Structure 1
Amino acid sequence: MSKLLKIYHLGSAWSCLKMLLDYLSTREDDQIIHIIFSSAHKLNEQFINKKNTVIFSKNEHSCHVLSDVICDFIANKKINHVNVHTEHRELDIGFGIVINGIINKVSLENLQCHLYDHDWSDVENRAKISSVNTVSLHYAIDSEIKRVECWLKTPSILSSLPSSSLMRNLLWHRVFNVKWHFLAYGFSSDNALLSEIYEGWMPMLVSPTKKVSLKNTLLVGKLLNLSDKNINDLCKLKNKKELIWYATGTQFLDVKSWIHNLADKIEKNPEISSVDNVIVSSKSESVFEIITSNKIIILPSWISPDYVALCCPDLLPAIEKNNKWLDNAENSNGITLCRMSQGQFLPTENDFLIDSESVHQDEWVFYMNASMGDVLYCLATLKSWKNIYKGKVIFVAHSLYREIISRCSEVDVFWPLDDIEEYQPLIKLAKKNGKYKYLMKFDWADPDLHFQKGITELLNVDFIPDEQFLRLTTTQEERKKVDDFLKENKLNEQRTVLLHTSIGSPNKTWSQENWSALADKFSQNGWRVILIGSNNNKHAHKIMPSWNDPRFVSAIDYFTPIEMITLMNACDLLVATDSGPIALAGASTIAICGIYSIVSARSRLPFRHGKLGWNAMGIDTNCHFGHCARGWDNKQFQATSGLDETHFRPITTFDYWCPNNKSYSCMKNIDADSFWKGITSFLESDSYIPKGMRVENI
Structure 2
Amino acid sequence: MKKIYVYLNAAMGDNLYLLAACRAIKKIKRVDIVFISPPLFVQLAEACPHVSAVWQDNTLSQTQIQQLQQAHAKGRFFDFTNWSHALSPVHMVDSFLAQMGIDALAPDKQLDLNVPPSATHVIDTFYRANKLDEKPVLLVHPNIGHPNRTWPQENWFALTEMWLLSGWDVIFIGSTVNSEANKTMPTAPPAGVINAIDQFSPIETVALMQRAGMLVSCDSGPVMLAGATEIAITALYSTVSSHHRLPFRHGEAGWNCLGIDLACVNGPCARLMSSEMIFTTLLKRPFDTPTQNEFANWCVNSTPFKCLKHFSPPALYSQMAAFILRNTAV
TM-score (norm 1): 0.45
User: Tell me, which stretches of 5 or more residues in structure 1 are unaligned?
Assistant: 1-360, 694-698
Distance in 2 between residues matched to 1:561 and 1:488, nearest whole Å: 20
How has the CA–CA distance of structure 1 residues 540 and 570 changed in structure 2, closer, same or farther, with 3 Å as cutoff? same
Residue type at the aligned position of 2:121: K
Contact 1:503 1:544 survives alignment (8 Å): yes
Q: C-alpha separation between the residues in 2 aligned to 1:651 and 1:373?
A: 15
Task: Show the counterpart of 1:615.
Answer: 256
Q: Which moved more, 1:395-404 or 1:410-419?
A: 410-419
Distance 2:231 2:76 in 1: 36
Asked if structure 1 preserves the Cα contact closer than 8 Å seen for 2:89 and 2:271, the reply is: no
Aligned to 1:541: 182
Q: Percent identity?
A: 33
**1:580 maps to amino acid:** G
**Structure 1 pair 571–444 and aligned structure 2 pair: CA distance change class (3 A):** same
Distance 1:623 1:646 in 2: 26
For structure 2, the 5+ residue unaligned runs are none
Deviations 1:48-82 (A, max 9, x none): xxxxxxxxxxxxxxxxxxxxxxxxxxxxxxxxxxx
State the match for 2:198 in structure 1: 557
For 2:223 and 2:322, the matched residues in 1 are separated by 20
Q: Does 1:657 align with 2:298?
A: yes
User: What does residue 51 of structure 2 align with?
Assistant: 411
Tell me which moved more, 642-651 or 383-392.
642-651
Could you say which structure has the greater relative contact order, defined with CA pairs below 8 angstroms and 6 or more residues apart?
2
Inter-partner Cα distance in structure 1 for 2:125 and 2:107 = 34
Distance 1:402 1:421 in 2: 16
Tell me which of 11, 21, 29 is aligned to 1:389.
Answer: 29
Question: What's the CA shift for 1:572?
Answer: 0.6
**Matched residues in 1 for 2:248 and 2:189: separation?**
35
Equivalent residue for 2:212, pick from 564, 571, 575 = 571
Q: Give the drift of 1:484.
A: 1.0
- Offset of residue 510 of structure 1: 0.5
Aligned to 1:145: none
Aligned to 1:517: 158
2:237 is aligned with 1:596: yes
Describe the SS at the equivalent of 1:581. Answer: helix
Q: Say which SS state the counterpart of residue 507 (structure 1) adopts.
A: helix
**TM-score in terms of structure 2 length:** 0.92
SS at match of 2:182: coil
How far, CA to CA, are the matches of 1:546 and 1:652 in structure 2?
24
Task: Name the CA distance, whole Å, in 1 between partners of 2:194 and 2:292.
Answer: 40
The separation in 2 between residues aligned to 1:464 and 1:606, in whole angstroms, is 14
| Change over 3 Å in CA distance of 1:421–1:643 after alignment to 2 | farther
Secondary structure of the structure 2 residue equivalent to 1:499: strand
- Which residue of the partner structure matches residue 474 of structure 1? 115
C-alpha deviation, 1:436, in angstroms: 1.5
In 2: Cα distance, 1:553 partner to 1:592 partner: 19
SS of corresponding position for 1:437? strand
CA-based RMSD of the aligned residues comes to: 2.3
1:460 aligns with 2:120: no
Question: For 1:480-527, what per-residue CA distance to the aligned partner results, in whole angstroms no more than 9, with x for missing partners?
Answer: 110111111011001110000010111100000100100010011111
Change (3 A) 1:447 1:664: farther
- Tell me, in whole angstroms, the C-alpha distance in 2 between the residues paired with 1:432 and 1:551: 57
CA gap 1:635/1:662 in 2 versus in 1, 3 angstroms: farther
Residues 107-143 of structure 1 show CA distances to partners (whole Å, capped at 9, x for unaligned) of xxxxxxxxxxxxxxxxxxxxxxxxxxxxxxxxxxxxx
CA contact (8 A) 2:26 2:33 kept: no
Q: In the TM superposition, what whole-angstrom CA distance separates every residue of 1:339-377 from its partner, at most 9, and x where no partner exists? A: xxxxxxxxxxxxxxxxxxxxxx93311111111011111
Q: How does 1:138-217 map to 2 (within 5 A)?
A: none
2:79 matched residue in structure 1: 438
Task: Tell me: CA distance 1:636–1:558, structure 2 relative to 1, closer, same or farther (3 Å).
Answer: same
Q: 1:674 maps to what in 2?
A: 315
1:363 aligns with 2:3: yes
Against the structure 1 CA distance between its residues 484 and 534, is the aligned structure 2 distance closer, same or farther, given a 3 Å change threshold? same
Superposed counterparts of 1:46-125, under 5 Å: none
Map Cα deviations across residues 604-628 of structure 1 (whole Å, 9 max, x no partner): 0101000111111011012232111
1:14 is aligned to: none
**Is the CA contact (8 Å cut-off) linking 2:175 and 2:198 kept in structure 1?**
yes
Listed as ranges, the matches of 1:222-301 within 5 Å are none
Give the AA of the match of 2:259: G
Aligned length: 328
Separation in 1 of the partners of 2:320 and 2:88?
22
Match of 1:401 in 2: 41
